[in-house]
Structure 1
Amino acid sequence: MSALTFDQVSVRYGAHTVLHEVSLEVGAGQTVGLVGESGCGKSTLARAAVGLAPLTSGTILLDGRPVPTRGRRPVQMVFQDPYSSLDPRMTVGESIAEALPGRPGRAARRQEIARLLALVHLDPSKAGDLPGQLSGGQRQRVALARALAARPRVILADEITSALDVSVQGAVLNLIRDMRRDLGLSMLFISHNLAVVRYVADHVAVLHAGRIVEHGPTARVLGDPRHDYTRHLLASAHPLKEHT
């Protein structure tokens, strides 16, 4: 288990400041929900953690040390659109194998791919399929398996259920909860939907116009919000049915 800390992080593109001195901690083994409307800077914060958005100021630390930007990446990101994040010309097995550390032999590689697919509740026989042969929910599970292949200490999940229908959303969210329980992963779970975050997160941070306006335990933030913007998000949230 590892802790990911954003300390006074700012990101600016030209004259436009996307993030304003954001401080947030994803505690070891915790799932922290980051919520806010489109354009508030949620994805930029996650992209900064994996080196895809340059910091204007501030630091991002993993267990008190700068997040490595070379070699093995202990922080892995899963993107919103699983189809665009997977190479359509590569089989499921090839995509997962590409993320495996080291150079395992053929048998070990096949065994590890099968293990990762089973971990995300997919039949290992899917290793030979192309992304276009899978449903949206299955592709998102493959994207999760690919992220897990790198043996990360922290997962950044960026709107990973927003493109899925409600029944598939529930199955993927149950998978997220299972992963957290079984693997002890720390996770930043990004969403505009507070109902989804309520289901998976221990703590919630509310991002508005590039600033954290509220942060605390999920039950407190969603049960007794102290900021008008949080109340606005709650008023527009839709209930999520639990699926098993």
Structure 2
Amino acid sequence: MSSLELRGITVRYGRFTAVENVDLLVPEGTVTGLIGGSGSGKSTLGKAVVGLAPMHSGRVLVAGSDAGRRRGRSPVQLVFQNPYASLDPRMTIGASVAEAVPRETGSREPPARKAPARERRAVREAEVARYLELVGIDPARAALTPDALSGGQRQRVALARALAARPAVLIADEITSALDVSVQGAVLNLLRRLQRELGFAMLFISHNLAVVRYVSDQVAVMDGGHLVECGPTDRVLEHSEHPTTRNLISCLPTLPSPEEASCPDH
């Protein structure tokens, strides 16, 4: 297991500063929910961690080491909001997952004796099947392309691909917002179970406070590119200290009580 630590992260697009001097710690084996209004910088921060946004200054540390200086695959993987755009429509889902599987997977041969191509391919296919099963996709469907799957199934494949890279840290950016409400719960339950079983740290980005409460150990709040509040989930959502947090909570819809619902005036 590994932690994710952000130190002084600043993201600029020309003269516009999208994220300014953000410090945040996601402890190992835990989930930090990152919330904020539209344009608050939360998604930009997540993209900066994996190098998809121009980081002007700051450091990204995984288990105390600079993530940018690690060799090989990044220890941080990002699952995007839109499952339609995150998968190559021309590739089979099996090939998409296989792309993320580390080359050395399953190899017990010394460097001087490289396993035959057929053996390496068999090991790779077994890994693909394992990760598809892990997210609830029948491995027999590995030869299908994304257009043959539903939105929820595509998001599961995107998750399988991220996990196949064996990340120490996973960033989930609004991964249920493009899904039907009936599918969201199943994907969230899956993500929560996998995070606990595999033990990776996770930064869960969402505008949905109910979802954040469900999956997160702590909550961080952004406003105008700044991190304005951070703490244990219950404390932040029930006893918030910053006006931005209180405003986000006040915008949550409330259902009338049974007595109010039965009243003609309601």
One-letter code aligned to 2:95:
E
Check the 8 A contact 2:2/2:29 in 1, yes or no. Answer: yes
Q: Paired residue for 1:212?
A: 227
Query: Please, what TM-score do these two structures have when normalized by structure 1?
Result: 0.94
> Deviation string for 1:178-211 (max 9, x for gaps)?
0111101100000011111000000000001101
Is 2:163 aligned against 1:159? Answer: no
Is 2:78 aligned against 1:74? Answer: no
Check the 8 A contact 1:68/1:74 in 2, yes or no. Answer: no
Q: Paired residue for 1:12?
A: 12
Q: Paired residue for 2:260?
A: none
The Cα of 1:163 is off from its aligned counterpart by 0.5
> Deviation string for 1:96-136 (max 9, x for gaps)?
01111116622111111111011111111221111001010
After TM superposition, the structure 1 = structure 2 runs for residues 3-82 of structure 1, keeping only pairs within 5 Å, are 3-68=3-68, 71-82=72-83
Partners in 2 of 1:229 and 1:57 — Cα distance?
25
> Deviation string for 1:20-39 (max 9, x for gaps)?
11010111001000001121
Q: Paired residue for 1:242?
A: none
One-letter code aligned to 2:238:
G
Which structure's CA Rg is the greater one?
Answer: 2
Question: Greater shift after overlay, 81-90 or 61-70?
Answer: 61-70
Q: Paired residue for 2:250?
A: 235
* Residue ranges of structure 1 left out of the alignment (5+ in a row): 240-244
The Cα of 1:237 is off from its aligned counterpart by 2.9
One-letter code aligned to 2:177:
S
Partners in 2 of 1:237 and 1:140 — Cα distance?
26
The Cα of 1:238 is off from its aligned counterpart by 5.1
Check the 8 A contact 2:94/2:143 in 1, yes or no. Answer: yes
Q: Secondary structure at the match of 2:55?
A: coil
After TM superposition, the structure 1 = structure 2 runs for residues 134-145 of structure 1, keeping only pairs within 5 Å, are 134-145=149-160
Which consecutive aligned stretches of 4+ in structure 1 deviate over 3 angstroms post-superposition? none
After TM superposition, the structure 1 = structure 2 runs for residues 65-144 of structure 1, keeping only pairs within 5 Å, are 65-68=65-68, 71-102=72-103, 105-144=120-159
Query: Please, what TM-score do these two structures have when normalized by structure 2?
Result: 0.87
Check the 8 A contact 1:9/1:23 in 2, yes or no. Answer: yes
Count of residues in correspondence between the two structures: 239
